[in-house]
Amino acid sequence: MSLTNQSVLEALHEITAPGSSQSLVEAGTIRDLEIDGSSVRLALAVQVVQPSDVEELRTRIETALQAMDEVSEVELQIQPMMPMASAPPHPEPEPTTWADKIPGIKRVVAVASGKGGVGKSTVSANLAHALAVAGHAVGLLDADIYGPSQQLMMGATGDPMGDEEGGIYPVEAPGGVKVMSFGFLVDADQPVIWRGPMLQKALEQFFGDVRWGELDYLIVDLPPGTGDVALTLCQNVPLAGILIVTTPQDVALIDARKSLHMFTKLETRVLGIVENMSGFECPECGHVEHVFGTGGGAKTAEELELPLLGSVPLDPAVVTGGDHGTPVVLERPESPSARAFTEIADKVAKATK
């Protein structure tokens, strides 16, 4: 009988993934399987609990395959992925501040808002891409513990891979931006309660254990409001600056002021205000409808003595771009919204030179 993919998978049927009751096949660990005559080439990516899991698994797989009469040769590649929580500690002494852990990152720029749903994640994703298009090396950290969305918005599919020293590699999105997200750590359908120390640890790992490499910018998409994540970040990471996103209504503007006051108290530099969803240009007749009022962002920026970094119109292409994982800056660079994002990126780059 000749060797087939099916017969190889059946031979592996009994072998479970480390720390799991699922078989290797059920756990989705098999990345590649090639058969050439009587040779089997198999590549796996497995979550490992401890480094010795890899060798144990290798022995079990090789034994199972070599027991097949049709198999003469087995070539096995196992890529270990470390779950973040159980990543082994660094062998070298821990640096004292987070800043020491990120020597390769030149600037960290965070995107905040007083209110939810005003477009922080959209601004972060497009800002990251616009900076990358301008030739910068860019990373994007989705630090929204309540509703991480950057995997979807950036089209960053796949899981981050780990190495045996406890390092984690961010996922590279189309366009070259490196993405890391709370969304990679948690099941999207399960509510997660992050308590203070756990949250602090997870955030610290994003700086200490994620192998960002050399970056000109790390953009951090914050959860809405003035909660723990923003506070922890400002206290531990030297930020090049923060952008505050708002929509033009008065209620959003009140919250934007609150958030500005928090950052000022923390002595974090606020680069300026981004007014999002500022008006809808009818594609048929060109009439601009100011759905959420007009001039609010400019007025608030003036009152708070901050620059208005840009006004992004309401644009259905922004929504579809985000939903398809290709932000509008990449998908429709000539559209008014993409041009607004690019202008914001230029101003951010100039202000943080």
Ligand X SMILES: Nc1ncnc2c1ncn2[C@@H]1O[C@H](COP(=O)(O)OP(=O)(O)OP(=O)(O)O)[C@@H](O)[C@H]1O
| Contacting residues toward ligand X, per CB under 6 A | 113, 116-122, 144, 147, 149, 224, 276-277, 312, 314-315, 318-319, 322, 337
Which phi and psi (to 5°) does residue 144 adopt? -85, 100
Residue whose CB is less far from ligand X, 144 or 209: 144
Least distance from C-beta 121 to ligand X, angstroms?
3
Residue whose CB is less far from ligand X, 135 or 286: 286
∠198-202-208 over CA atoms, to 5°? Answer: 135
DSSP sequence for 64-114: HHHTSTT--EEEEEEEEE--GGGPPPPSSPPPSSHHHH-TTEEEEEEEE-S
Q: With CB cut-offs between 5 and 8 Å by kind, which of ligand X, Mg ion, none does residue 48 bind?
A: none
Which residues within the stretch 139-158 sit at the binding site for Mg ion (CB under 5 A)? 144
Q: Does 113 bind Mg ion (CB under 5 A)?
A: no
Least distance from C-beta 280 to ligand X, angstroms?
8
In whole angstroms, what separates CA 159 from the centre of its chain? 11
Least distance from C-beta 116 to Mg ion, angstroms?
8
Q: Does 181 bind Mg ion (CB under 5 A)?
A: no
Residue whose CB is less far from ligand X, 233 or 314: 314
Q: With CB cut-offs between 5 and 8 Å by kind, which of ligand X, Mg ion, none does residue 126 bind?
A: none
Least distance from C-beta 285 to ligand X, angstroms?
19
Q: Which span sits near Mg ion by CB under 5 A: 117-125, 253-261, 264-272, 299-307?
A: 117-125
**# binding residues, Mg ion (CB under 5 A):** 3
Least distance from C-beta 276 to ligand X, angstroms?
5
Residue whose CB is less far from Mg ion, 121 or 311: 121
User: In 10 A of CB 237, how many CB atoms?
Assistant: 23
Least distance from C-beta 120 to Mg ion, angstroms?
5
Q: Which amino acid is at 161?
A: M
Contact 116/259 with Cβ under 8 angstroms? no
Helix, strand, or coil (residue 44): strand
- The sign of the dihedral angle between the CA atoms of 63, 66, 68, 74 is positive
Residue whose CB is less far from ligand X, 166 or 321: 321
Q: With CB cut-offs between 5 and 8 Å by kind, which of ligand X, Mg ion, none does residue 117 bind?
A: ligand X
Nearest Cα neighbor of 107 from 134, 136, 142, 150 is 136
Q: Does 121 bind Mg ion (CB under 5 A)?
A: yes
Residue whose CB is less far from ligand X, 120 or 136: 120
Burial 2-35 (b: 16+ CB within 10 A, else e): ebeeeebeebbeeeebbeeeeebeebebbeeeeb
Burial 214-234 (b: 16+ CB within 10 A, else e): ebbbbbbbbbbbbebbbebbb
Nearest Cα neighbor of 232 from 272, 204, 195, 262 is 204
Least distance from C-beta 250 to Mg ion, angstroms?
22
Helix, strand, or coil (residue 221): strand
Binding-residue pattern over the window 72 to 111 for Mg ion, x denoting contact by CB under 5 A: ----------------------------------------
Least distance from C-beta 121 to Mg ion, angstroms?
3
Q: With CB cut-offs between 5 and 8 Å by kind, which of ligand X, Mg ion, none does residue 85 bind?
A: none
List residues near Mg ion by CB under 5 A: 120-121, 144
